[in-house]
């Protein structure tokens, strides 16, 4: 399961970061606000990925 999940998690993080970059450039955010948006989205996605991995393997 881990061999499938790690590449999937990397792909999901890459996809969300590319969408975040397009959003930040389109809305012309400052670099400070843009870094806060990236941090918030990445932390949220990591929490979701870890919790889904835990649910699939241990519940």
Name the pLDDT band for 34 (thresholds 50, 70, 90).
very high
- pLDDT tens for 16-30 read 999 999 999 999 999
Position 2 scores a pLDDT of 82
Cα–Cα distance measured from residue 19 to residue 51, given in angstroms and rounded to the nearest whole number: 22
Cα–Cα distance measured from residue 58 to residue 18, given in angstroms and rounded to the nearest whole number: 31
Burial degree of 58 (CB within 10 A; 0-12, 13-18, 19+)? exposed
Burial degree of 52 (CB within 10 A; 0-12, 13-18, 19+)? middle
- pLDDT tens for 5-17 read 999 999 999 999 9
């Amino acid at each position: 399961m881990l061999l499938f999940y790690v590449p999937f998690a990397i792909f999901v993080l890459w996809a969300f970061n590319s969408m975040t970059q397009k959003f930040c450039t389109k809305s012309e955010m400052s670099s400070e606000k843009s870094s806060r948006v990236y941090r918030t989205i990445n932390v949220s996605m990591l929490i979701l990925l870890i919790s889904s991995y835990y649910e699939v393997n241990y519940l």
